[in-house]
Amino acid sequence: MTHLPPAQLATFYSRPSSPAGQRYDKDSSMILVGQAGVGKSTIGSMASQALHWQLIETGYILPNTPGGLSHEVDLLDERFEAFSDVLRENGKGKVIVCHADMLEHVRIRRLLHEYGTTHGPVIHVTRRPESVAEYLRMTTPEFDEEGFYGEWPYREAEIRDVSTFLFMSLEDTVGGQDTSDRHPSLSSTLHNNLTTAQQSPIHLPYVNKDLIRLLKFIRGTYTNHVPYTSFRSYYLSLTYEHIALAIPHIQELSVGIDCWELRADLLRDMRPESVVYQLALLRRFSDLPVIFALRTRSQGGMMPDLDRNAEAAAYTTDILKLALKMGVEYVDVNNVVPRDTKVMLLGMKGNSKIIASWHDYSGQTSWLSSTTYSFYKESVKLGADVVMMVNTAKDNEDNLDVRKFSQHVQKDVPLVAFNIGAVVSDVMYFSCEGS
């Protein structure tokens, strides 16, 4: 059974002003933000080495309370001015790690939001809360574990609000077991290609590989999209209730396909933190691009219909923004999403591609009706990169109509159009057209 976030968090998760997925000058400095214990310094060092940029740790250069004599407000103002100076003087070619304490300052959060919107990437670094708690338990005297878990989702949402991208520093474990034990063929291949990890914890070379993938995507040097060719391309929908269940079979499942579809509405746990983890897990074990999809019941999925459930509408907006922030190659935005939300998502897509999708599982809409042509034209007008249309065939005439529709529509962007249903099986080649 799918679990949505608690109702009281729905509006807290969704912040329409939050930046995401922007495109920047390749030399623009990047800022790393995150809660204490997530490994910002380690990730910053990796990014610095990968880009050959200078690493700036703000925790070492911003003012602290001298002997407890400075007033707290004065200290916050001093830190704000000092942090502003850091950003102003290091706008190019730097990796800047923002100390966790800085996020307590409202003015600094606004500054980060503005930086991510207008200048360079602000990357939210996160880990699984259990791993962070374990680290803080060993390093922080009087660690309040109950308070930590209670505040974690709120603090994560607050950081997501000021960030443009998100990176999960994923430990090399699945279900509590080291992946080199559970999936030796996958882990050994990665480990052999990353020989720099001989002096490091076992999971760090994998983290480095994941980070470089995101950095290339942000900078546009390698976006991992399926190339447009005259040949057909194929995707496989992962309908597991947890992506960890697919990992033991991932090599076999990937044979002959070009892309995964991750159906987030079918995940048992749909909390943002869980979705982030499962997407990171899929990417850890497969380099194939991902289509991120969230379907409502009227679209053949498990999410409540958005026009009848305000919580589901707020959650959908936030989770699609989250997919963009993770640098997902393709984000499916279906036709029940409100127009203003579509415009917002298209405006923050960065190097991701938006798939405008339409589904009719009732079979009441003809392929040759004004509805189908209007949807395609409107999607192109809004700026969609791909249009996907799925109808239900009641008879063989419907299979001929999808071919006619594909031939008649002026294809300004690639079109994927096909039928589903019992009568499709004998004439499947008629019901798929991609351009």
308-360, pLDDT tens digit by residue? 888 889 999 999 999 999 999 999 999 999 999 999 999 999 999 999 999 99
Q: Would you say residue 84 lies in a domain?
A: yes
- Pair 41, 307: CB distance under 8 Å: no
Domain that holds residue 393: 235-434
Please check whether residues 202 and 247 belong to one and the same domain: no
* pTM, rounded to two decimals: 0.85
Q: Which amino acid is at 155?
A: R
Please check whether residues 208 and 257 belong to one and the same domain: no
Please check whether residues 365 and 257 belong to one and the same domain: yes
Q: Would you say residue 307 lies in a domain?
A: yes
Q: Which amino acid is at 326?
A: M
Please check whether residues 251 and 382 belong to one and the same domain: yes
Q: Would you say residue 226 lies in a domain?
A: no
Please check whether residues 240 and 311 belong to one and the same domain: yes
* Residue 54, both tokens: 């200078």
Whole-number Å distance between alpha carbons of 355 and 332: 5
Count other Cβ atoms within 10 Å, centred on residue 25: 11
Whole-number Å distance between alpha carbons of 284 and 239: 18
Closest to 161 measured CA to CA, from 201, 103, 231 = 103
Whole-number Å distance between alpha carbons of 263 and 275: 10
Please check whether residues 205 and 252 belong to one and the same domain: no
Of the three residues 186, 219, 252, the one that is the final residue of a domain is: 219
Instruction: Dump the DSSP string for 373-384.
Output: HHHHHHHHHHT-
CATH (domain of 126) = 3.40.50.300
Q: Is the pLDDT of residue 4 over 70?
A: no
Q: Would you say residue 224 lies in a domain?
A: no
Q: Would you say residue 107 lies in a domain?
A: yes
pLDDT tens, position by position, 274-321: 999 999 999 999 999 999 999 998 888 898 888 888 888 999 999 999
Q: Which amino acid is at 229?
A: T
- Pair 348, 20: CB distance under 8 Å: yes
Poorest-pLDDT segment among 6-10, 39-43, 67-71: 6-10
* Residue 68, both tokens: 């407890």
Please check whether residues 168 and 95 belong to one and the same domain: yes
Please check whether residues 207 and 295 belong to one and the same domain: no
Q: Would you say residue 21 lies in a domain?
A: yes
Whole-number Å distance between alpha carbons of 133 and 7: 26
Residue 92: DSSP 8-state? B
Of the three residues 219, 248, 281, the one that is the final residue of a domain is: 219
CATH (domain of 258) = 3.20.20.70
Of the three residues 219, 247, 269, the one that is the final residue of a domain is: 219
Please check whether residues 151 and 259 belong to one and the same domain: no
Q: Would you say residue 195 lies in a domain?
A: yes
- The number of distinct structural domains making up the chain is 2
Q: Would you say residue 143 lies in a domain?
A: yes
Please check whether residues 244 and 130 belong to one and the same domain: no
- Pair 204, 171: CB distance under 8 Å: no
- Pair 318, 13: CB distance under 8 Å: yes
Instruction: Dump the DSSP string for 229-242.
Output: -SS---EEEE--SS
Beta strand segments in 58-152, E: 94-97, 122-126
Please check whether residues 127 and 167 belong to one and the same domain: yes
Please check whether residues 209 and 239 belong to one and the same domain: no
* Residue 27, both tokens: 């030399």
pLDDT tens, position by position, 45-73: 999 999 999 999 987 766 665 544 445 66
